Amino acid sequence: MVSAHAYAVVTEGLRKRYGDVMALNGLDLAVPAGTVRGLLGPNGAGKTTAVRILATLLRPDAGRAEVAGCDVVTQAVEVRYRIGLVGQYAAVDEVLSGRQNLVMFGRLYHLSPRAARRRADELLEQFRLTDAADRAVKEYSGGMRRRLDLAASLILTPAVLFLDEPTTGLDPRARDEVWEAVRSLVNEGTTVLLTTQYLEEADRLAHEISVIDGGRVIAEGTPEQLKSKIGGDQIDVMVSDAAHLDHTAGLITSVVGQQAQIAHRERRVSVPVTDRVAALTSVARALHDAGIEAEDIVLRRPTLDEVFLRLTGDAAANSPKEKVA
């Protein structure tokens, strides 16, 4: 077991099953205190399930998890004092005003009435909601709701903050506001676990990213490490004759030193590359030397789909149980 002091969130072999679906299938995480960890994964990867277990809303079927040094199952109340949770929907009372919401939540954290009111005022100020403080939340914009939601999660300045797709459905301006708020929290020492489907978001906010799919971590590292693992850029070669696909793929694999992938229908061969221009030049030369006619050669960034495909492909190669797509 890793030391509880160095890590704010630790999970070991976490499993959760819904009927036939393994929502979590042996999730291992260790998030150093004071850092932002991005949980990056496609829809259905198990991100929300993981967050719900860590926030004591759900019991794991197997494995264990510690948050801020407390076990999420046996010390649930202690954990609840140390966390904030921002879920996929702004979880605030729509009928009450922003201030009434914050005072109510403060009281439920067992602050005295006076302390709850003072804390509400501070948070309203911090999240620029003072002007709207006494309006019903129904009348708030999406971004304002999100900010209030965030404020409500920060009443006790939690040691660990969970953000489950905090910017999904927000316009770019509101998204920037949320990012800004998260950054300033981290400066104050809060550990953040953030789930997202967007590589860009994880890249901007997280010190380290855990890519999850099928309920477990399939790759982990700093954004730079992941990108170099994925290969950053990608070269696509469209051949005129489908019969040349296999030969082309073999050729490119040997030139670039990375496994090239074939998309038959598009008559395309794709390969991740690190040294953009040099790779492009050598691929073009190799094709020319071998007498393969290319319709088009493109250098581009991989789409998120390709990133996942590549990582899940790697993971599948390492574990024979899973079938390769």
- By the criterion CB under 5 A, which residues form the site for Mg ion? 47-48
Residue 246 carries which side chain, given as an amino acid letter? D
Answer for the pair 84, 70: CB distance below 8 angstroms, yes or no. no
Q: What own/partner pairs with CB < 8 Å and gap ≥ 24 does 223-228 have?
A: 228/274
Runs of H (alpha helix) within the chain: 47-54, 76-82, 98-108, 113-126, 142-153, 172-187, 199-205, 223-230, 245-256, 276-290, 304-318
Site for ligand ADP contains 18 (CB under 6 A): yes
**Dihedral in degrees, nearest 10, Cα atoms 278, 279, 284, 286:** 110
Site for other proteins contains 186 (CB under 8 A): no
Give the CB-nearest residue to Mg ion: 48
Answer for the pair 302, 231: CB distance below 8 angstroms, yes or no. yes
Q: Choose between 28 and 122: whose C-beta lies nearer to other proteins.
A: 122
Among residue numbers 30 through 89, which ones bind ligand ADP (CB under 6 A)? 41, 43-49
Q: Which does 64 bind (CB under 5 to 8 A by kind): other proteins, ligand ADP, Mg ion, none?
A: none
Residue 2 carries which side chain, given as an amino acid letter? V
Give the chain's length: 325
Q: Which does 21 bind (CB under 5 to 8 A by kind): ligand ADP, other proteins, Mg ion, none?
A: ligand ADP
Residue 138 tokens read as: 């129904």
Answer for the pair 192, 186: CB distance below 8 angstroms, yes or no. yes
Site for other proteins contains 297 (CB under 8 A): no
Site for ligand ADP contains 23 (CB under 6 A): yes
Total binding residues toward other proteins, as defined by CB under 8 A: 38
**Which among 51-59, 62-70, 242-250, 267-275 is the span making contact with other proteins, rule CB under 8 A?**
51-59
User: How many other β-carbons are positioned within 10 Å of the β-carbon of residue 303?
Assistant: 11
User: How many other β-carbons are positioned within 10 Å of the β-carbon of residue 94?
Assistant: 12
Q: Which does 297 bind (CB under 5 to 8 A by kind): ligand ADP, Mg ion, other proteins, none?
A: none
Q: Choose between 39 and 79: whose C-beta lies nearer to ligand ADP.
A: 39
Minimal distance, residue 121 CB to other proteins, in Å? 11
Q: Choose between 17 and 207: whose C-beta lies nearer to ligand ADP.
A: 17
Minimal distance, residue 89 CB to ligand ADP, in Å? 13
Residue 111 carries which side chain, given as an amino acid letter? L
Minimal distance, residue 51 CB to ligand ADP, in Å? 8
Distance of CA 249 to the CA centre of its chain: 32
CA separation for the pair 44, 32 (Å, rounded): 26
Site for other proteins contains 81 (CB under 8 A): yes
Minimal distance, residue 163 CB to ligand ADP, in Å? 12
Residues that bind ligand ADP (CB under 6 A): 18, 21, 23, 41, 43-49
Residues that bind other proteins (CB under 8 A): 52, 55-59, 77-78, 80-81, 83, 85, 87-96, 100, 104-105, 107-111, 115, 119, 122, 136, 152, 155-157
